[in-house]
Amino acid sequence: MGITTLHPSGLPGKAYLFLVKAVVTFICPQNPNFTEARDCILTEFKAFWEADILSSPIPIFYQDVRNIVPDEGGYVEVAVNYTGGGSWAIGKEFKQRSGQVLVRIHTPIGQGLSLGYQLGIIALNALKGENLKSQIWFRNGSISEEGKQDSRMVIEVSVDFVHSQLR
């Protein structure tokens, strides 16, 4: 938090309290390996997700981090799964890597489906190609209802991705 002597309405001498959000810059390489591509996808998804007012109070859980599910409210699980890859060129090893990003949105029953679909659209928008500054391309985005799990409704967003890796 910081304090300035300038009030938002321009009144001099009036204290104004504001929050400063730390911005972390993550640069994704042009031909990322598995780990770098995963970090690119998750970092950029998190930045887009937290920038949206509707989604910001909903915590994100990652597949490799142990989390405690909240008793109330919603949460989101994000996983990056590789499904294949193959050679593209002769000479240097230039491979195509492909996979799928799965976003499972858990929302309280009673507001679950409408909130889930609103958050699902935010997740799909976060995984559009123009939002990533890397050479990772996304396609075939979809939203589906997975049904009830415990006391929450689950909406799943899945998006296929592909990137190249030069070795």
Mean pLDDT by 10 residues, the chain (167 residues): 38 41 56 83 87 82 81 90 70 77 92 84 82 74 90 93 77
Write down the pLDDT at residue 143. 94
Residue 73 belongs to a domain? yes
**What does the pLDDT read at residue 91?**
58
Structurally, the chain folds into a number of domains equal to: 1
Residue 86 within any structural domain of the chain:
yes
Q: In this structure, what token pair is assigned to residue 37? A: 């591509």
Please report whether residue 75 resides in a domain.
yes
- Does residue 5 lie in a domain region? no
How many CA atoms lie less than 13 Å away from 67 in the CB half-sphere? 14
DSSP 27: P
- Whether 161 is in a domain gets the answer yes
103, with CB counted inside 10 A (0-12, 13-18, 19+), is buried
Q: How far apart are CA 25 and CA 19, in angstroms?
A: 19
Here the tokens at position 51 are: 């920038």
In a domain, 116, yes or no: yes
CATH code at 148?
Answer: 3.30.2000.20
User: In terms of DSSP bridges, do strands 75-87 and 60-62 run parallel, antiparallel, or are they unpaired?
Assistant: parallel
Domain containing 70 equals 29-166
pLDDT recorded at residue 76: 93
For residue 21, being part of any structural domain is answered with no
Evaluate whether residue 3 is within a structural domain.
no
Instruction: Count how many residues are written for the chain.
Output: 167
Pairing type for strands 60-62 and 94-108 reads unpaired
